[in-house]
A and B are shown apart, each in its own frame.
Chain A
Amino acid sequence: MAAIETEQASPNAPASDLTRVGYNVYRDPEIYARERERVFMGRCWNFLCLDCEIPNPGDYKTTHVGDVPVIVARDETGTIRAMENRCAHRGSQVCLEKFGNAKRLTCVYHAWSYDLRGKLVGVAFRNGVKGEGGMPPEFDPARHGLRTLAVEVFHGLVFASFHQGLPSVEEDLGPEITARVRRVFNRPVTVLGYTTQVLRNNWKLYVENVKDSYHASILHLFFTTFKLNRLSQKGGIIVDESGGHHVSYSMIDRDAAAPEPGERTRADKDGFRLADPSLLQGRDEFGDGVTLQILTVFPNFVIQQIQNALAVRQVIPRGPEETELRWTHFGFADDDAELLGARLKQSNMVGPAGYISLEDGAVGALVQRAITGAGDQESVMMMGGSDAASTTSRATETSVRGFWKAYRARMDP
């Protein structure tokens, strides 16, 4: 018994050890609240929307920074603004719809209204009724606007931060990640569809899953069966200096030898072939042979290119043990009918019913349920070493370790 305790109840590893993560980070309400303050509302660029979603002056979209409701709007000059979706008067949600167009944002509760920069421009009954009531003379509307966020539009992606004075998005991402964002967002995009998945797990379990290239060919058998993501493919993982951003990419190695011994998985069944292989037919639209590029921006943003299936994903916390995964599928404004057709078919690979993403919706919940009794125990991520460096191997957990490096830099500075 004593031996087992020594084995299992090891004291929590120091924060510098990226190969260990205590399970309490996925459950503890106090940690969840601290994440809101130090991660999402701290020194981070948060993805809000694509700028093509609010093309005209007055267009707005409601979204979240972490679990904090925000409005992203295009003002009358065409500049994109972001502000907290919380009335400065009594705290009611100001905008209720997901999308809208307005000159003024008016709270339904007491009709306080704001311009598209969040400035308070109207207070109902400010001067009272028949000379009675009303706001006192010292009431200064300039002090009661919506709380605004810093905004940067980067290659059509709208980012915002509650923290003013951050380095630019490009500086934050670093040159290698920036180049991989540019690679996809190289011309005007157009939204092709939205889906939201409710995940029964902590938000970080999904972010880790996206960064985890180790599981891809093991959990997702559809992918492996059709030779889309073998570990023997050419490719690699880039992790930025902070650890928080990453790119995982692969390209079909047409000269690749037969699978190495030990690489065979459950999916290597004879005779499992698509009756309609047009599902996977597409085009090398970026001209570099890269068939898969998954890019994450700390803390919770994903850009996906799986062949011609393009999407951005927002991972929105909804309490310690629930998450919304919001997919925005997109193409380019100049897509021809054939390419659009390929995107429609390939969209079957992703989303809540995606052949290769379906399992990701459930695997986080399997962890969430199982860690109930984990106490102060820790998960282990030693695959591919103990650091968070870039690598050409995909049999690694380097970018997951990178996430914890960036996370701890904010949570436990």
Chain B
Amino acid sequence: MAGPSDAQIRAVARLNIEYAHCIDDDALERWPDFFLPEGLYRITTAENQSRGLPIGIIHAAGQAMMRDRVLSLREANIYEPQRYRHILSEPLVHLEPGGALRSRTGFMTARITSGAETMLFATGVYEDIVVKRGGVWRFAEKIVVLDSDRVDTLLALPL
């Protein structure tokens, strides 16, 4: 059973790095582009994952729901201006029989809220399924599993 190639591992790491910078740079309109059109994005907690519970914090099935999230953040929702800074681990990558790559990437995210101190907002792991379609690597699935079950105040921007 062959493992992933070095090029595949680098592709997964690169995709996550670009993804994190996209969010940290407030380029949220490009955030859904990191997913397949039918891709799944969820934020949940380790507690819910270990208990097999399906409802977490965000559940976006498909790019359209992700675009709606961004539109709502920009146009409808009211929250204090804020940014994130992601620090990522290297990915642990497994090659699936069908050719998809399953990866785990640890993250720490600081939240920088205007007028408030920078805080360690979230830690956890990205549990991703990454595929290459039309020559482009994208997420078929990205499950953000938070280590803690507590979220400070609110979660506006995607993690």
Which residues of B57-87 have CB atoms within 8 Å of chain A's CB atoms? 57-62, 64-65, 67-69, 71-72, 75-80
Indicate if B45 sits at the interface (CB-CB under 8 A): yes
* Highest count of chain A CB atoms <10 Å: which of B45, B62, B64, B77: B77
- Given the complex of chains A and B, what is the CA–CA distance between A347 and B44 in angstroms? 12
- Shortest CB distance B38–A (Å): 11
Pairwise interchain contact B45-A194, C-beta atoms closer than 8 A: yes
Indicate if B53 sits at the interface (CB-CB under 8 A): yes
- Shortest CB distance A391–B (Å): 27
Q: Which residue of A lies closest to B67 (CB)?
A: A275
Q: How many residues of B contact A (CB 8 A)?
A: 36
Pairwise interchain contact A347-B55, C-beta atoms closer than 8 A: yes
Binds A, one of B5-13, B102-110, B148-156: B148-156
Q: Which of A221, A347, A353 contacts B154 (CB 8 A)?
A: A353
Q: In the assembled complex, which residues on chain B have CB atoms less than 8 Å from the CB atom of A193?
A: 44, 48, 53-56
Q: Which of B59, B78, B154 contacts A352 (CB 8 A)?
A: B154
- Shortest CB distance B23–A (Å): 14
**Chain B window 39-55, contacts with chain A (Cβ cutoff 8 Å), 1 for yes, 0 for no:** 00001110110000111
- Given the complex of chains A and B, what is the CA–CA distance between A353 and B70 in angstroms? 12
Pairwise interchain contact B65-A195, C-beta atoms closer than 8 A: no
Which residues of A194-239 have CB atoms within 8 Å of chain B's CB atoms? 194-200, 219, 221-222, 225
Q: How many residues of A contact B (CB 8 A)?
A: 39
- Given the complex of chains A and B, what is the CA–CA distance between A196 and B53 in angstroms? 15
**Chain A window 164-205, contacts with chain B (Cβ cutoff 8 Å), 1 for yes, 0 for no:** 000000000000000000000000000111111111100000
Q: Which residue of B lies closest to A311 (CB)?
A: B55
Q: Knowing A191-B53, A276-B65 touch, does A344 contact B59 (C-beta < 8 A)?
A: yes
- Given the complex of chains A and B, what is the CA–CA distance between A192 and B47 in angstroms? 12
- Given the complex of chains A and B, what is the CA–CA distance between A329 and B151 in angstroms? 16
Q: In the assembled complex, which residues on chain A have CB atoms less than 8 Å from the CB atom of B69?
A: 348
- Given the complex of chains A and B, what is the CA–CA distance between A324 and B117 in angstroms? 21
- Given the complex of chains A and B, what is the CA–CA distance between A340 and B59 in angstroms? 13
Pairwise interchain contact A340-B54, C-beta atoms closer than 8 A: yes
Q: Which of A222, A275, A276, A347 contacts B77 (CB 8 A)?
A: A222
Binds B, one of A136-144, A298-306, A354-362, A404-412: A354-362
Q: Knowing A193-B48, A358-B77 touch, does A352 contact B151 (C-beta < 8 A)?
A: yes
Which residues of A357-394 have CB atoms within 8 Å of chain B's CB atoms? 358-359, 361-362, 365
- Given the complex of chains A and B, what is the CA–CA distance between A217 and B102 in angstroms? 43
Indicate if A267 sits at the interface (CB-CB under 8 A): yes
The count of A-to-B residue pairs whose CB atoms sit within 8 angstroms is 114
Q: Which residue of B lies closest to A269 (CB)?
A: B75
Pairwise interchain contact A221-B153, C-beta atoms closer than 8 A: no
Pairwise interchain contact B56-A361, C-beta atoms closer than 8 A: no
- Shortest CB distance B12–A (Å): 26
Q: In the assembled complex, which residues on chain B have CB atoms less than 8 Å from the CB atom of A276?
A: 62, 64-65, 68
- Shortest CB distance A16–B (Å): 35
Q: Knowing A195-B149, A276-B65 touch, does A362 contact B47 (C-beta < 8 A)?
A: no
Indicate if A343 sits at the interface (CB-CB under 8 A): yes
Indicate if A25 sits at the interface (CB-CB under 8 A): no
Q: In the assembled complex, which residues on chain B have CB atoms less than 8 Å from the CB atom of A197?
A: 150-154
Pairwise interchain contact A194-B53, C-beta atoms closer than 8 A: yes
Q: Knowing A193-B53, A348-B60, A362-B80 touch, does A222 contact B72 (C-beta < 8 A)?
A: yes
Q: In the assembled complex, which residues on chain B have CB atoms less than 8 Å from the CB atom of A344?
A: 54-55, 59, 61
Which residues of A64-103 have CB atoms within 8 Å of chain B's CB atoms? 98
- Shortest CB distance A392–B (Å): 28
- Given the complex of chains A and B, what is the CA–CA distance between A192 and B58 in angstroms? 13
Pairwise interchain contact A353-B155, C-beta atoms closer than 8 A: yes
Indicate if A274 sits at the interface (CB-CB under 8 A): yes
Q: Which of B48, B54, B58 contacts A348 (CB 8 A)?
A: B58
Q: Knowing A193-B54, A196-B149 touch, does A358 contact B67 (C-beta < 8 A)?
A: no
Q: In the assembled complex, which residues on chain B have CB atoms less than 8 Å from the CB atom of A196?
A: 149-151
Contacts A/B (CB < 8 Å), 9 sampled: A193-B55, A194-B47, A219-B78, A347-B56, A348-B58, A348-B59, A353-B43, A353-B151, A353-B156
Top 6 A-B pairs, shortest CB-CB distance: A193-B55, A276-B64, A361-B154, A275-B64, A352-B151, A353-B155
Q: Which residues of B contact A (CB under 8 A)?
A: 43-45, 47-48, 53-62, 64-65, 67-69, 71-72, 75-80, 149-156
Q: Apart from A353-B58, A362-B80, what 19 extra A-B contacts exist at CB < 8 Å?
A: A192-B54, A193-B44, A193-B53, A195-B151, A197-B150, A197-B152, A269-B75, A272-B76, A275-B65, A279-B65, A324-B150, A345-B61, A345-B65, A348-B60, A348-B65, A353-B154, A355-B72, A358-B155, A361-B153
